[in-house]
Amino acid sequence: MNVMTKPGSFATLHNWLINEDFTSTRQARLHTFYVAWLNLLANPLAFCGFLVVLGLIAVAALAPMIATHDSYAQDLAFALQPISAQHWFGTDEFGRDVFSRLVYGSRTTLYISILVTVVVAPIGFVIGATAGYLGGWVDIVLMRITDIFLSFPSLVLALAFSASLGPGIENAVIAIALTVWPPIARLARAETLTFRNADFVVAAELQGAGMGRILLRHIVPLCAPSIIVRLTLNMSSIILTAAGLGFLGLGAQPPMAEWGAMAASGRQYLLDAWWLTTIPGIAILTVSLAFNLLGDGLRDILDPRNG
């Protein structure tokens, strides 16, 4: 790792952060983050991905300020207008401003992907880590269940669940979450198995620590890097699945702005209004590519074993 002291305005802070003779726990923690940050800066593609993800979050947070029009306001006199100075990305079949809907659509995308991740990460971890830690019958049963869910192509399973739960954004979240947890569980199990018989785990057991404590205090910190990498890469497939559900009319319901549904409704006007389908698709592609690039870069930094 290329860590060197350097002069400059932030020199003192920089030197304190890269110094490996730690004087406090906090310094050691900040050091880890800082070195990871420097590594991210050194990987241009991953950094681009990081910037796009930051941009997405900023757009979603500041949507009311960025949008030029009301994303719900219909104006049939101005339906299917091409790109112009007033409507940067044209208007849709109801005369709504596509740019503003795209901006608000970022909220939907972020809402679905973050909610799925927050739901799935602890569930997948608990199932996988329990299976790996306890072994025996528990392991066999839990992994069998995981494999059953894995044997379905994920979009088809999500489709079936959201069809039976009914269309809507919350149901789409549940349906996608049901398809995303199995790989996380498998990963957590594999990671737990590698640490299961390590001396520090045995030592903690001898001191009387229960399973919950060992998993939470000893296994979680060790699994975290690879799970974070997997979750970041998963973001892209969550976004694509959500867009696919939206495309089939099962995700967010109109008039809510959702990129997949926007691309779908544009198909009817494909020949007259190419922008309706093209632009939301480019947005999906950009964001999903950004998460993939960021995840790839994070893997090189946090989880070099699986690189």
Partner 1 sequence: MTSSQATAARSPDSSKLLSGLRKVATSLAVILTTLLGLLVITFVIGRLVPADPVIAAIGDQADQATYERVHKEMGLDRPLYVQFGAYLSDVVHLEFGQSHITKNPVASDLARVFPATIELATLATLIGAGLGVPLGVISAVRKGTWVDHLGRIVGLLGYSTPIFWLGTIVILVFYAKFGLIPGGGRIDIYNEGLVEGPSGSILLDSILAREWEVFWSALHHVVAPALILGYAAMAYLSRMSRSFMLEQLRQEYVLTARAKGLSQRSVVWRHAFRNIRVQLLTVVALAYCGLLDGTVLIETVFAWPGLGQYLTSALFFADMNAVLGSVLLIGIISIAINLLSDIVYRFIDPRTR
Tokens 């809507």, located at residue: 168
How far is 257 from 252, CA to CA, in rounded Å? 8
Measured from the CB atom, the residue of 17 and 183 that comes closer to partner 1 is 183
Question: Any contact of residue 293 with partner 1 (CB under 8 A)?
Answer: yes
Closest to partner 1 by CB, 95 vs 168, is 168
Place of tokens 């991740």: 117
Binding test (CB under 8 A) with partner 1, winner from 236, 251, 257, 294? 236
Indicate whether 160 belongs to the interface with partner 1 (CB under 8 A): yes
Cα torsion for 240, 242, 244, 247, to the nearest 10°?
A: -130
CB of residue 208 to partner 1, shortest distance in Å: 37
The percent helix, strand, coil of the chain (3-state, each to 5) is 75, 0, 25
> Judged by CB under 8 A, which of 82, 122, 153, 212 binds partner 1?
153
In order of 124, 129, 201, 207, 258, the CA distances from 213 in angstroms are: 17, 12, 11, 11, 41
Closest to partner 1 by CB, 30 or 163 = 163
- Please report how close the Cβ of residue 95 comes to partner 1 at its closest, in angstroms: 22
**DSSP states of 46-62 as a string?**
HHHHHHHHHHHHHHHHT
Number of residues that bind partner 1 (CB under 8 A): 45
Cβ proximity to partner 1, 117 vs 278, nearer residue: 278
Residue type, 162: S
* Residues 112 to 151 in contact with partner 1, rule: CB under 8 A: 144-145, 147-149, 151
Residue 7 CA: distances (Å) to CA of 41, 240, 254: 19, 45, 56
Q: Looking at 93-101, 182-190, 204-212, 243-251, which segment touches partner 1 (CB under 8 A)?
A: 243-251
Of positions 48, 240, 253, 300, contacts partner 1 by CB under 8 A: 240
Residue linked to tokens 């699945």: 241
Q: How far is CA 6 from the centre of its chain?
A: 35
C-beta of 106: minimal distance to partner 1 in Å? 15
Q: Report the residue number, 187 or 219, with the smaller CB distance to partner 1.
A: 187
Q: Which is nearer to partner 1, 91 or 109 (CB)?
A: 109
270 contacts partner 1 (rule: CB under 8 A): yes
CA-wise closest residue to 227 among 168, 303, 127, 151 = 303
For partner 1, which is the closer residue by CB, 164 or 197?
164
CB atoms within 10 A of CB 225: 19
Give the C-alpha distances (Å, rounded to integers) separating 27 from 6, 23, 30, 168, 188. 18, 7, 5, 46, 29
Q: Which is nearer to partner 1, 119 or 240 (CB)?
A: 240
Per-position x/- string for 79-108, each x denoting binding to partner 1 as judged by CB under 8 A, each - no binding? ------------------------------
Backbone angles phi, psi at 91, to 5 degrees: -125, 160
- Could you list the residues that contact partner 1 (CB under 8 A)? 144-145, 147-149, 151-157, 159-161, 163-166, 236, 240, 243-244, 247-250, 260, 263-264, 267, 270-271, 274, 277-278, 280-281, 284-285, 288-289, 292-293, 296
